Amino acid sequence: MHRFYKGLKILGLIAVILIIGVIIGWLETRKTSSTVETLGTSVVSSSVSTDRVPFFSTNSRPRPPETAAKKPRSQVSSPGIELIPNWEDKLEDILGSDAVESAKARQLLAIFPRLPEDGQVEVAQHLSNLVADEDYTPLGKLLTDPKESEGVLDVLMVDVLNRPNALKLPLLLEIAREQEHPKAAEAKDLLELYLEEDYGTDWNKWQGKLEQWLKDNPD
């Protein structure tokens, strides 16, 4: 009997030890889980910390550098001549009117001296289209004027080469004779091409050859 009670005590002690072991193990498991959760939270927190670059930047995008301001249109004019303000609007009014082409051309010729250089170049281009051969005299005066800007003369030289020979060649001769004209050398080269002669600066021979050539080659 005594052994029986002793055996029960041993079994009870073992059971208590087992229960205590289970409890200790359970506590350790909770502790480990808590540590893991804490570490996980820390890792997640650090991953979303300020080191992370957000998908949409909170900083405003840098503004592109502003384009350089347009250069002001040339405002060079002859002394004593007052330029037309807002000449582009004036030009649009003339070109957009219901007037006939010859009337538009006269209006453009009237405002031409009061335009800045780039305005004169633009108007010269329109005049080249509007002025008929029979009305070319005012435009011819612009072409033979050595004081006109290079841009205007470029436009008018291209235009005159598309005119009839009876109009074109006398103007080229007049330009070639004017040594100070920016297009003098070019005009002389063109005369040589048409007349197949080179009389140097003997303008009387040039004139005679030109008149004879026009008789032999009427338009």
Per-residue pLDDT 10s for the chain (219 aa) are 444 444 455 555 555 555 655 555 555 555 444 444 444 444 334 444 444 333 333 333 333 333 333 334 444 445 567 899 899 999 999 999 999 999 999 999 999 999 999 999 999 999 999 999 999 999 999 999 999 999 999 999 999 999 999 999 999 999 999 999 999 999 999 999 999 999 999 999 999 999 999 999 998
CB 186 within 8 A of CB 156: no
Rounded distance between C-alpha atoms, residue 48 and residue 12, angstroms: 54
Q: Among 126, 140, 133, which Cα is nearest to 90's?
A: 126
Name the amino acid, one letter, at 50. T
What's the distance, CA 41 to chain centroid?
56
Cα(146)–Cα(156) distance, rounded to whole angstroms? 12
pTM for the predicted model, two decimal places: 0.64
